[in-house]
Amino acid sequence: MDNEKKNPELSIPDFQALIRKMYVEKDIERGVAGTFMWLMEEVGELSTALRSGSKKEQEEEFADVIAWLTTIANVVGVDLNKALIDKYGAGCPGCGKLVCECPDSDKP
């Protein structure tokens, strides 16, 4: 990794910038549709890891899903940190509480 030390903490903005730096040209060329298909493949692999994988396999698949989701955000120009703050920064988007009080019937 170019003699760079791994950072023990990685914020969402830092991660999005890292993914952009590593992959943005390939990602833009592949486009949203192709990138979305990779995300779906990784979601399937996460499903398998959750059913029968080791903790290490589960961690790797969670990381892959987040990376591919971040890739799509980069391609379409969405700032994930802003999106998360806007939607969840003040609590549940449904009831506005820090600990959700929405009835389960309102959720899928």
Domain range list for the chain = 12-106
The answer to whether 82 and 17 have CB atoms below 8 angstroms apart is no
75 pLDDT band, cuts 50/70/90, is very high
**C-alpha distances in Å from residue 4, one per residue of 12, 18, 67:** 19, 13, 19
Say whether pLDDT at 108 is over 70: no
Domain 12-106 has CATH 3.30.210.10: no
CA pair distance 69, 10, nearest whole angstrom: 16
pTM here is: 0.86
Reported as a single tens digit per residue, the pLDDT across 8-64 is: 899 999 999 999 999 999 999 999 999 999 999 999 999 999 999 999 999 999 999
Reported residue count of the chain is 108
- How many Å separate Cα 30 from the centre of its chain? 18
The DSSP symbol for 8 reads: S
CA pair distance 35, 38, nearest whole angstrom: 5
